[in-house]
Amino acid sequence: MLYQRSSHLFAEAEKVIPGGVNSPVRAFKSVGGTPIFVKSAKGAYLYDEDGNRLIDYINSWGPMVLGHAHPPVIDAITKRAQLGTSFGMPTQLETEIANLAVAMVPNIDKIRFVNSGTEACMSAIRLARGFTHRNKIIKFAGCYHGHSDSFLIQAGSGAITFGSPNSPGVTPGTAQDTLLANYNDLEQIVQLFEANPNQIAAIIVEPVAGNMGCVPPLEGFLEGLRALCTQHEALLIFDEVMTGFRLAKGGVQELYNIAADIVCFGKVIGGGLPVGAFAARNEIMNCLAPLGPVYQAGTLSGNPLAMAAGLAMLQEIDADAGLFQRLEEKTLYLEEGISKILTDYAIDYTINRVGSMISVHFDKQPVIDFASAKNGDNETFKKFFHGLLREGIYIAPSAYETWFITDALTYEDLDATLEAVQKVAKEL
């Protein structure tokens, strides 16, 4: 495939945008080469500036669970735009989508809309601190909760040490209120609570991790977090920015029957527009201004275009009783096909999958946390990525990102993908 126009556009972008991109993973730094510039998308396909068609396995990093340019969503945005694009005042739409979200998701009474997953997680942490009157939080290495200062923390030397900033601009003081643990390691959480009595406001976790590749929770891990939070009167925050409305109507809470105290949303809930949200039961949410003392605001929060897109998306999901079964079956078909090919060619690999989230790790050992995710053969992944791209298949340009499957994919698309994997596997 030719990417002459993409290369030209990237060179132009680098002159006026840092690194040529507005989010770092788009720059192809971890896989090498020049990023693809998209011109349009429809259903399961991307169309780039050079006229190539690509079968899409990232789907805007998750939101396009029903496919690109899904007609009901596009119609809703178009109709709404004709009435005005922003008011900074309440609209009926906000209440409509709030009612639907509360009806779909277990254990929540109220929801507040913001503009991104980062905002949602940042606000959830502030709310947890305000509700508990405690300052410290626990997060897990390899879990990404946006780029707010509290979350840009690297691990200390042990379970009871503080983290340190892993980005300039994050202060040591901020880092000291963030405690680090390894994903799927309950014993570390026990130690952290013991070392910080009555100081921990919340644990925030991706209940199915997607930012070290797809990493599912081990049996008992989420249940253990729930029990420890209850025991120590801390809040359990599920970051369902990726998993919400994707793995089940009610997200991971429904999938695994585990109650979180605060849930964060993004991606699917916006129908592809910039939307985030956080939700909880009444006693927690009523701490938010203007009812309570915990301040949170946003000029464009509840934007009518975003609310229209999100409402249309949730209505489609809510009405489609077979959606999640179809996603499960399609993703399983892909998993089994890739597994057979890589096995036939004696390539070391591990495939992790939950529902429509899936990752191929080029290591034969189980991938259960960030440390084991880093053991993968990333040189092999680079060859795999570029080989698939050459064959018209677009996967995440990083070994540490999950793939997201869309219902718009046909079995013909899946078979074409497996044919491409077969070709590429011969070269690995």
Residues recognised as catalytic = 144, 239, 267
- Sorted by sequence, the CB contacts under 8 Å of residue 342 that are 6+ apart come out as 349, 360, 421, 425
Q: Which helix (H) or strand (E) is 316 found in, with range?
A: helix 304-319
Looking at residue 268, what DSSP letter applies? G
Q: Read off the tokens for 294.
A: 């915990």
CB 214 within 8 A of CB 353: yes
Identify whether the C-beta of residue 192 lies closer than 8 Å to the C-beta of residue 160: yes
- Strand, coil or helix: 240: coil
The 8-class DSSP code of residue 287 comes to: T
Residue with tokens 């396909």: 45
Choose among 231, 276, 258: nearest CA to 107.
Answer: 258
Residue 177 near residue 135, CB atoms below 8 Å: yes
Q: What are the φ and ψ backbone dihedral angles of 374, each rounded to 5 degrees?
A: -75, -10
Cα 155 to chain centroid distance, Å, stands at 21
Query: How far apart are alpha carbons 135 and 302 in whole angstroms?
Result: 29
| Cα separation values, 123 from 93, 205, 323, 381, Å | 22, 15, 31, 35
DSSP 342-381: HHHTT---EEEEETTEEEEES-SS---SHHHHTTS-HHHH
- Cβ distance 247 to 213 under 8 Å? no
